């Protein structure tokens, strides 16, 4: 396998390389490496890496959304606490905005795990 083929295989995550790397390298050697083919391999690598770290990225997004709602509620003087009683519609909406990203995260992870178990 020449350097370009080796590099294209090496872009993939380790567990994928261990499972499919040798066969994929052989396929690449038999394929004419056009710019479109290289872009397709690169897109495949990015997709695998995003899926491998999806839970961590979703946690980061949930935290960012929750913290943003918390800061906004604090700046609007709706609360001085992390969590508060929804004593008015605006306070209830701010509380929902703070808690809901975590509920959506948990629901999404549970759904993906159920789907993975069925597969």
Rounded distance between C-alpha atoms, residue 99 and residue 43, angstroms: 34
Confidence of residue 119 (pLDDT cuts 50, 70, 90): low
DSSP for 47-70, written as a single string: HHHHHHTHHHHHHHHHHHHHHHHH
Q: Are residues 91 and 39 in the same domain?
A: no
pLDDT digits (tens, 9 = 90+) for 25-37: 999 999 898 999 9
pLDDT above 90 (res 118)? no
Tokens of 76: 């609007």
Q: Is the pLDDT of residue 9 over 80?
A: yes
Mean pLDDT calculated for residue range 18-26? 94
pLDDT at residue 81, as a whole number:
83
Residue 116: band (very low, low, confident or very high) from pLDDT cuts 50, 70, 90: confident
| 48 and 58 assigned to the same domain | no
Q: Are residues 58 and 114 in the same domain?
A: yes
The pLDDT, as a whole number, for residue 29 is: 92
Provide the domain count of the chain.
Answer: 2
Provide the pLDDT for residue 71.
94
Statement: residue 73 has pLDDT above 80: yes
Domain boundary among 36, 52, 68: 52
* 34 and 89 both lie in a single domain: no
User: What is residue 82's predicted lDDT score, i.e. its pLDDT?
Assistant: 78
Does residue 60 share a domain with residue 30? no
pTM of the model: 0.58
Is residue 39 located within the same domain as residue 78? no
pLDDT exceeds cutoff 70 at 1: no
Q: Are both 110 and 68 inside the same structural domain? A: yes
Domain that holds residue 82: 54-118
Token digits of residue 44 = 């495949």
The span from the CA of 23 to the CA of 115, in Å, is 28
């Amino acid at each position: 396998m020449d350097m370009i083929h080796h590099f294209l295989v090496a872009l993939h995550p380790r567990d994928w390389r261990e499972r499919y790397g040798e066969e994929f390298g052989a396929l690449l050697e038999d394929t004419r490496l056009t710019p479109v083919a290289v872009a397709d391999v690169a897109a495949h690598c990015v997709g695998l890496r995003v899926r491998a770290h999806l839970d961590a990225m979703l946690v980061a997004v949930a935290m960012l959304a929750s913290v943003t709602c918390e800061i906004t509620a604090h700046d609007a003087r709706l609360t001085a606490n992390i969590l508060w009683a929804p004593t008015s519609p605006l306070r209830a909406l701010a509380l929902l905005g703070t808690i809901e990203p975590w509920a959506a995260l948990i629901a999404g992870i549970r759904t993906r795990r159920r789907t993975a178990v069925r597969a």
